[in-house]
């Protein structure tokens, strides 16, 4: 597939690609959104590095892929209920995914694309 507005670098032979050449702090063009959809369809998982986006920009990006979902098992942030804070570091005694799925694929109607901000 040919991409004109983004760069797409496959990460493994089978799944995942890093997306570059895009600034997620700015409004995306229809072409950029279509190319992100194409990359997601082709690689199944896409990553964006060094994107200093805030919660609103994260939600804006998510809306390009469908309606935002409220987590069925964990409360979201008070002012951004669509966003669940997940944090694990070397001192953590519990990590997300140990006993539940943060991606909501266990819901009767899961979201199309779980998004994570690192």
Q: How is residue 15 written in tokens? A: 């799944």
115 domain-assigned: no
The whole domain housing 57 covers 7-63
Residue whose entry in the numeric block shows the structure tokens 């809306």:
63
Burial environment of residue 87 by CB neighbours within 10 A (0 to 12, 13 to 18, 19 or more): exposed
Domain end, chosen from 29, 48, 63, is at 63
- Containing 20, the helix (H) or strand (E) segment is strand 17-20
| Same domain assignment for residues 33 and 52 | yes
Count of domains observed in the chain? 2
Terminal-residue alpha carbon distance, the chain: 27
| Same domain assignment for residues 21 and 52 | yes
| Same domain assignment for residues 87 and 52 | no
Per-residue DSSP letter, 77 = B
Which range has the worst mean pLDDT, 27-31, 52-56, 87-91?
A: 87-91
Rounded average pLDDT over 104-113? 66
pLDDT digits (tens, 9 = 90+) for 53-86: 999 999 999 999 888 888 777 788 899 998 888 7
pTM (predicted TM-score): 0.78
| Same domain assignment for residues 56 and 78 | no
Query: Which pLDDT band, with edges at 50, 70 and 90, does 22 fall under?
Result: very high
């Amino acid at each position: 597939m040919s991409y004109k507005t983004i760069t797409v670098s496959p990460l493994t032979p089978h799944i995942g690609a890093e997306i570059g050449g895009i600034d997620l702090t700015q409004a995306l063009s229809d072409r950029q959104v279509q190319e992100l959809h194409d990359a997601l369809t082709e690689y199944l998982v896409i990553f964006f590095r060094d994107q200093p986006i805030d919660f609103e920009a994260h939600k804006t990006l998510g809306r390009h892929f469908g309606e935002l979902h409220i987590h069925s098992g964990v409360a979201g942030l008070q002012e951004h209920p669509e966003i669940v804070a997940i944090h694990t570091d070397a001192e953590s005694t519990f990590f997300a995914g140990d006993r539940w799925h943060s991606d909501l694929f266990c819901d009767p109607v899961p979201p199309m694309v779980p998004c994570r901000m690192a």
